[in-house]
Copies of this chain bind each other. A is one copy, B any other.
Amino acid sequence: MGEFKHKIRVSWFETDAAGVVHFSNYYKFFERAEMEFWRSLEIDYKKIMKEYNIWLPRVEASCKFISPCYFDDELEIRLTIGGLARKSIRYNFQVWNLSTAKLAAEGHMTVVSVSKDTNRSVAIPSGIADSLKDFI
């Protein structure tokens, strides 16, 4: 079961007055890792929208915040596929803080395949589902 890794450097604007990364940013880190994951499969998100004519809107996201991240820390986002259903994909994430060598956060996002024309959920195109085979 494959794992995709993406590194991110904490920006100053991602911190808050407690001196740590504001929790809302972890969801943005998840999304950045997701986009780089699709790019690594050579089926980037622009292509998903244009060729397959679908969006992948989020229907659920959760995160546990385990240890704080600070300005300029280097983070590694690890993405695995937690589930693939006919119309939805679940990504699981871990955020490892390479600067503190600690697990910083752990969470998931579930996305649904939605036609850009009808705005209704549709089966995940087989070209997309197939590309995930090394991660199931």
Contact = CB atoms under 8 A, between A and B. Distances in A.
A29 to B, nearest CB: 10
A63 B15 CA distance: 21
Contacts of A85: none
Given A24-B24, A28-B13, A31-B12, A62 B65 contact: no
Interface in A41-76: 44-46, 55, 57-66, 68, 70-72
A60 B44 CA distance: 30
A16 interface: yes
Contact of A24 (B17, B18, B28): B28
A44 B72 contact: yes
Contacts of A61: 23, 62-63, 65
A32 B61 CA distance: 19
Contacts of A23: 27, 58, 61
A44 B73 CA distance: 12
Given A16-B12, A46-B72, A63 B60 contact: yes
A12 B27 contact: no
Nearest to A55: B18
12 contacts: A11-B32, A12-B35, A13-B22, A13-B28, A17-B70, A23-B27, A23-B58, A46-B71, A58-B65, A59-B65, A62-B62, A62-B63
